[in-house]
Amino acid sequence: MRFASLLVYVDEGPEATARVALACAIAGLSKAHVIGLAASMPDVPQVDPYAAGAMMGEMLGLFRDVAEADVSRAQTLFWDAVGGYADHAEWRGEGG
């Protein structure tokens, strides 16, 4: 079976580099494109009765910053792991 593209999930787990390398190896057999993807859901803190009103915007901004940092680290790991296969790879984990 030939593949045109492979989508690989990238996180900060210890197996992430091996997962990306395996995706590149499989893609190389079919000359397929490798697409890296990441997502982040920050841990929700315990309920704070004072985290409402004006504080809610600040708290949500901090959650966004944490999520963007997680995705950025995953992107760096992806590009390091694809190595020589970078010409046939792309990243789709932009924050927003």
Convert the pLDDT of each residue in 29-41 to its tens digit: 999 999 999 988 7
Cα distances from 69 to residues 12, 64, 74, 91, 92, in angstroms, run 11, 9, 9, 15, 15
pTM to 2 decimal places: 0.83
Q: How confident is the model at residue 46 (pLDDT cuts 50, 70, 90)?
A: low
23 by Cβ neighbours in 10 Å (0-12 / 13-18 / 19+) ranks as buried
Cα distances from 10 to residues 7, 48, 66, in angstroms, run 10, 32, 16
